[in-house]
Amino acid sequence: MKVLLAGCTKLPAGDGDDDALVPALADVGVHAEWAPWDSPADFAGADLVVLRTTWDYPERLDEFLSWCDSVPNLANPVPVVRWNLDKVYLTALRDAGVPVVPTAVLRPGDRPVWPTGEFVVKPTVGAGSRGALRVAAGDFAAARAHVASLGVPVLVQPYQATVDVLGETAMVFFGGRYSHAFTKSAMLTPDAELDPSGHFVVERLAPAQPDAAHRRVAEDVLDAAARQLGRSRSDLLYARVDLVTGADGSPVLLELELAEPSLGFRQADEAAPARFASAVRAALSSAGPSRCR
């Protein structure tokens, strides 16, 4: 069995977080290699292609999605990737009853209605917090200029001030089952900087043990997404549910990552890569056009 882990030109073998995956997969009889998604590697001949650090896709979206369509056995499946790469999915989950950070979609030509306090403007298609701007209360001129500079649909969300103290809680699932969690400190700060690859804002991470309220919301998010996609949770090789604490103290969804998330293996227990490898084996046992497209 052969698995290809898809990176990008500047991160052809990942960013270091996934270093334990190749040996963990070898332990369960799966040969795994890394390759940039736009390389001449034989993706069509692999038993499974797993999206990992394909983080240059926002600037090459059509090309990237065409490549995804060309891969017979992709994880997560192509319809899942297409749905998840556009953060407008947050409005669908909100309408399905999931607690979501208040979110408005602003398309070119729309007349904006700005929040009254601090807020965030970010592209609906983006990775690694690139293009996200934290806007001071009332600085609508800066917001308008940023939207104009992006020239693409954006999300407008009130800034969740609790992130400055509590950060985000990222909860990771493999094959629909909870694996581990980690925290991410606030990234939209004056000292934020890009990784040398230029593909993501450097994050400060730490292991986490989420409470029952976070666990319930994360499970609800995954169930709602599976219903939206007409799939079983077990169809999702991986998922990362990013929660923040809302103004009333309850966890709310900031993002659901089903396409190419960092999975926080360096913040997880030693068995996490083995759990991932087991989920890959389960995906391989059911891989085929009917599942992966």
Residue 214 pLDDT greater than 60, yes or no? yes
Residue 291 pLDDT greater than 60, yes or no? no
pLDDT in tens, 97-110: 999 999 999 998 99
pLDDT value, residue 217:
98
Tell me what the mean pLDDT of segment 224-229 comes to.
97
Q: What's the mean per-residue pLDDT of the chain?
A: 92
- Specify the residue for token string 């995906």: 283
CA separation for the pair 86, 116 (Å, rounded): 25
pLDDT value, residue 287:
60
Alpha-carbon distances, residue 289 vs 130, 267, 293 (angstroms): 33, 34, 6
CA separation for the pair 278, 237 (Å, rounded): 10
pLDDT in tens, 107-138: 989 999 999 999 999 999 987 677 889 999 99
Task: Find the largest Cα–Cα distance for the chain.
Answer: 57
Domains of the chain listed by start with CATH number: 2-79+281-292 (3.40.50), 85-99+162-267 (3.30.470.20), 104-158 (no CATH)
Helix/strand/coil percentages in the chain, nearest 5? 30, 25, 45
Residues 6+ apart with CB under 8 A from 291: 73, 77, 235
CA separation for the pair 269, 162 (Å, rounded): 27
Residue 238 pLDDT greater than 50, yes or no? yes
pLDDT in tens, 142-174: 999 999 999 999 999 999 999 988 999 999 999
Tell me what the mean pLDDT of segment 12-26 comes to.
97
Confidence category of residue 292, pLDDT binned at 50, 70, 90: very low
| Weakest mean pLDDT among 15-19, 34-38, 184-188, 265-269 | 184-188
CA separation for the pair 201, 125 (Å, rounded): 16
Strands 48-51 and 74-75: parallel
Its pTM stands at 0.92
